[in-house]
Amino acid sequence: MEYLLGFVVGLIVAGFLFTVVMIARAGSIGKASWGLNVAGRSNIDPTFGNKVNELMGLPPQSIPAPSSPPPAATSPPPPPPASTAKSKPTITKPTGEPLRLLALLQSEARLLDFLLEDIGGYQDAQVGQAVRDIHRKAQGVLKQHLTLEPIVAGTEGDKVTVPAGFDPSAIRVLGNVTGQPPYTGEVQHPGWRVRELKLSPLPAGQDAFVVQPAEVQLA
C-alpha cells in the first residue's frame, strides 16, 4: 500500500515539474498551452506538421497516401426466370434422295408391287413369267441411270489377292482371317461400285417420299 501511494505521489510530482519546465521554456502559461495545441495538430495533420518542421529546420514527415474507399458491394444478377414450357426437340426429316431410284424401278418395272405382293398362290410358271418381265424393265432402269463397275476383277471362284491397305468398306474378307494383308482367296462376289449416277432433279414442290402416286380413274 505504501509503495502504491509513493508511486502515485511520484507521478504527480513529475507532472508538476514537467508543467513548470514547459511554462518556463515557453515564457507563460498561454504560450505553453499554444505549444501543446501546435504539437497536437502536427500529430493529427501531417501537412501542418511539415510546415512547422520546415520553420524549425526539421526534416519533413512522411504523409500516408489517402486510402481509397472500399468498392461498393454489388449484388449478383438475378437468375433468368425458369421457362415453364418444355421445348420440343428438333426433328430433322431425312432426305428422300435415296428413294428416287426406287421410284424409277417402281414406275418402270413395278418392282415394289411385285416384292410386296403375296405370290404364294401363284404357280411357278406364272411367277417365272412375271419375274422375267420385271427383270427386263428393272435392268433397263439401272442401265439408263447408273454406271456400275465391279470392285474386283474376275467372277465367282476366281483367285484374287487382297492388297495391303485395302478399303474394308469395299472389300469384305471372309473365312479364316489371320495375319496382315495381302491375302489370297476366292471371289465370292465381285461387288458393285456406282461410278456415275444420272438422275434428273425432281420437279419443284414434288414430295420426294412419294415413290408411287395413287391413281384414281374418274368415270
Residue 206 pLDDT level (bands cut at 50, 70, 90): confident
pLDDT of 57 strictly over 80? no
The predicted model gives 21-49 an average pLDDT of 59
Peptide bond into 69 cis (omega under 30): no
Cell of 188: 465370292
pLDDT of 170 strictly over 50? yes
**pTM for the model:** 0.53
pLDDT of 20 strictly over 50? no
Residue 47: what pLDDT? 72
pLDDT of 215 strictly over 80? yes
Q: What is the mean pLDDT of the chain?
A: 78
The predicted model gives 123-137 an average pLDDT of 92
pLDDT of 106 strictly over 80? yes
The predicted model gives 58-75 an average pLDDT of 64
How far, CA to CA in Å, does 187 sit from each of 153, 168, 172?
9, 15, 11
CA dist., res. 172 & res. 201, Å (int): 34
Residue 61: what pLDDT? 63
